[in-house]
């Protein structure tokens, strides 16, 4: 007869087909073997099920349908702890307002968020204050060593944060404000707790859609060449962020701040470029911090966790000393230029040159990198396989081979071939982000670089919104000088870049309006490296936060 044999391969039970015959008493032995194998298989499944990973209770996500929400009920704002910089009344108008939390809505007299997602974690109160000191009064102390922190998400957007102080007392952090909430009741109004009133839900959805369609905002990150840079050094760049918004068809004043200010799931962050020098080596690195963690102490502690940074003090001021062991026997300079900023990744161009300590030989290198923001300031890039698995590997290898053939160079002329899978970044063309790679090579005794396109579009986790609601050809027909364009998810405005201006157009169908409604002057050579869009209630929330940070 034919049968199979159970065996373990790669941690799973599998059947290996083999032919074998059973005769006489041997059949009983083999039947026992089969029963034992089946028994072992069942036990294996039970053990596997029992030993499957259990989510740590210190950090878990509560589904909107889960009724067991720790803060469910009605709460009242009893005290203003911190008022946002744009709040002329110091937050007093919030006092006495009632807020209701449920699995379906968060409301303040009317629903302000539907289907909230509650992400909870338990953290050290001392550590929380260390990294969030700006959002609470000076000398604030939690009553317990640990605090339950609930981050409320609206889809993939940060909405607010709630801290559980006591069973009947919370701290709400929203739109740059912090309030004490006192519990009024475990219950919520009937309209907020309904699940089956489809018509009412539909009306709310229509109202929300109308509100979202009337409100659009965008954070535009810009990069320009630093004209005041010392000619003895490599190029340096300046960065700034613009806030452009439209509410009920009216343009709001355009706001501006230095550096790159951008949203993440954990709130708003800021990116800055910094330099450090030691023993003939100068390195520029990217520093990314939550806006609530910007003083020297917290910034240094955050960076020390990622890089091996030693501390020394000059005239009482702390000075960072990066570990330069990765430089080996080289001296010189490394600079970084940001080409793209997203929620979790940035694309940078890292360029270095100098000499070797021995032999007076020179070295030079230019590399495109995709960096995880949570890994900064470490300059270790991700590999293309990390974001696009095997498809990314095969695509970059194929594009690289074609580029090498086109250049007409041999393998001995190519520098750093071992870094192929991580020498890539994002490029902007035709109003969209694409992936490109870079080759370093020697030709006629000179150092050269060549960039090549890879037939891949960045995945959503790298570029969350990569869509044009107006075709690029239509943009060029209307604005022949256009170099780039970003269009809003609401399909109401387009931000067009020329060599010297930023132009804001209305969108009608798939066309731009006849004339721009706003013109802004750009710095020489200034280009966009980021566009983060807000709609609906988030427009005012982002604007308030932007103003608060501007006032620091």
Structural contact between residues 506 and 492, judged by C-beta atoms closer than 8 angstroms: yes
Q: Measured between alpha carbons, how far is 512 from 249 in angstroms, rounded to an integer?
A: 15
Which residues contact residue 253 at a Cβ distance below 8 angstroms, ignoring those fewer than 6 apart?
A: none
Number of CB atoms found within 10 A of residue 233's CB: 12
- For residue 260, give every residue at least 6 positions away whose Cβ sits within 8 Å of its Cβ, in sequence order, or none: 221, 239, 240, 241, 270, 271, 272, 338, 341, 529, 530
Q: Are strands 281-290 and 330-341 parallel, antiparallel or unpaired?
A: parallel
Ranges 12-16, 17-21, 432-436, 492-496: which has the least confidence: 17-21
Whole-angstrom distance, CA of residue 33 vs CA of residue 5: 9
**Each residue of 461-503: pLDDT tens digit?**
999 999 999 999 999 999 999 999 999 999 999 999 999 999 9
Each residue's pLDDT tens digit, 500-546: 999 999 999 999 999 999 999 999 999 999 999 999 888 998 998 89
Residue 456 has pLDDT above 90, yes or no: no
Q: How many residues belong to the chain?
A: 552
Helices (H), 380-471: 384-407
Q: State the SS3 of 134-191.
A: HHCCCCCCCCCCEEEEEEEEECCEEEEEEEEEECCEEEEEECCEEEEEEEEECCCCHH
Which residue would you say has higher pLDDT here, 89 or 327?
327
**Residue 93: predicted pLDDT:** 82
Q: What pLDDT, in 10s, does the model give residues 214-273?
A: 789 999 999 999 887 665 667 889 999 999 999 988 999 999 999 999 998 878 999 999
Distance between CA atoms of residues 254 and 221, nearest Å: 13
CA nearest 374: which of 306, 297, 464, 280? 306
Residue 159 scores a pLDDT above 60: yes
Two structure tokens written together for 69: 């929400």
Paired strand residues for 370: 347
Judged on CB neighbours under 10 Å (0-12, 13-18, 19+), 278 is middle
Beta-strand (E) ranges in 1-50?
A: 2-9, 12-19
Asked if residue 76 lies in contact with residue 181, where contact means CB atoms within 8 angstroms, the answer is yes
Please write the tens of the pLDDT for every residue from 374-409. Answer: 888 877 899 999 999 999 999 999 999 999 999 999
Question: What is the H or E stretch that residue 37 is in?
Answer: helix 26-50
CB 544 within 8 A of CB 499: no
Helix (H, G, I), strand (E, B) or coil at 107: strand
b or e along 104-115 (b: 16 or more beta carbons within 10 Å of the residue's beta carbon)? bbbbeeebbbbe
Residue 304 · residue 287 · CB < 8 Å: no
Percent of the chain with pLDDT over 70: 75
Contact of 399 with 455, CB cutoff 8 Å: yes
Q: What is the dihedral of CA 541, 543, 549, 551, to 10 degrees?
A: -120
């Amino acid at each position: 007869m034919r049968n199979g044999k159970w065996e373990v391969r790669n941690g799973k039970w599998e059947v290996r087909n083999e032919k074998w015959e059973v005769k006489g008493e041997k059949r009983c032995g083999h039947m026992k073997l089969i029963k034992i194998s089946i028994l072992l298989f069942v036990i294996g499944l039970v053990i596997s099920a029992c030993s499957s990973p259990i989510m740590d209770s210190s950090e878990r996500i509560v589904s909107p349908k889960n009724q067991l929400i720790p803060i469910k009920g009605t709460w009242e704002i009893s005290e203003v702890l911190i008022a946002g910089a744009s709040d002329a009344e110091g937050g007093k108008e919030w006092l006495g307002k009632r807020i209701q939390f449920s699995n379906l809505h968060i409301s303040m007299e009317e629903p302000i968020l539907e289907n909230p997602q509650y992400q909870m974690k338990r953290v050290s109160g001392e550590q929380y204050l260390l990294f969030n000191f700006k959002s609470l009064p000076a000398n604030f102390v939690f009553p317990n060593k640990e605090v339950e922190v609930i981050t409320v998400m609206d889809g993939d957007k940060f909405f607010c944060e709630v801290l559980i102080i006591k069973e009947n007392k919370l701290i709400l952090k929203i739109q740059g404000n912090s309030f004490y909430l006192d519990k009024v009741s475990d219950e919520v109004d009937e309209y907020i707790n309904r699940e089956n009133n489809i018509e009412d839900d539909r009306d709310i959805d229509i109202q929300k859609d109308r509100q979202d369609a009337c409100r659009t905002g965008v954070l535009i990150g810009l990069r320009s060449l630093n004209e005041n840079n010392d000619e003895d050094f490599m190029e340096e760049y300046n960065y700034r962020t613009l806030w452009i918004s439209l509410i009920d068809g009216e343009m709001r004043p355009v706001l501006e701040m230095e550096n790159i200010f951008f949203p993440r799931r954990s709130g708003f962050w800021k990116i800055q470029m910094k330099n450090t020098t030691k023993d003939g080596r100068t390195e520029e690195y990217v520093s990314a911090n939550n806006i609530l963690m910007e003083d020297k102490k917290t910034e240094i502690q955050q960076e020390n966790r990622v890089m091996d940074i030693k501390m020394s003090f000059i005239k009482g001021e702390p000075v960072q000393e990066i570990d330069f062991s990765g430089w080996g026997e080289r001296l010189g300079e490394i600079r970084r230029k940001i080409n793209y900023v997203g929620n979790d990744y940035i694309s940078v161009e890292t360029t270095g040159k100098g000499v070797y300590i021995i032999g007076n030989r020179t070295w030079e290198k230019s590399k495109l990198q995709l960096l995880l923001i949570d890994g900064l300031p470490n300059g270790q890039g991700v590999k293309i396989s990390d974001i696009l698995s095997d498809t990314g590997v095969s695509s970059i290898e194929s594009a690289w081979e074609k580029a090498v053939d086109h250049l007409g160079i041999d393998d001995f002329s190519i520098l750093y071939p071992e870094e192929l899978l991580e020498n890539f970044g994002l490029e902007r063309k035709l109003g969209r982000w694409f992936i490109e790679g870079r080759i370093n090579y020697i030709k006629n005794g000179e150092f050269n670089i060549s960039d090549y396109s890879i037939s891949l579009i960045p995945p959503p986790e790298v570029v969350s919104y990569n869509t044009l609601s107006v075709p690029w050809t239509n943009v060029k027909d209307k604005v022949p000088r256009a170099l780039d364009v970003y269009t809003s998810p609401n399909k109401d405005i387009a931000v067009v870049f020329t060599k010297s201006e930023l132009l804001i157009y209305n969108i009608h169908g798939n066309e731009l309006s006849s004339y721009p409604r706003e013109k802004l002057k750009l710095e020489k050579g200034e280009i966009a490296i980021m566009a983060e869009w807000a709609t609906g209630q988030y427009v005012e929330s982002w604007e308030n936060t932007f103003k608060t940070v501007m006032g620091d």
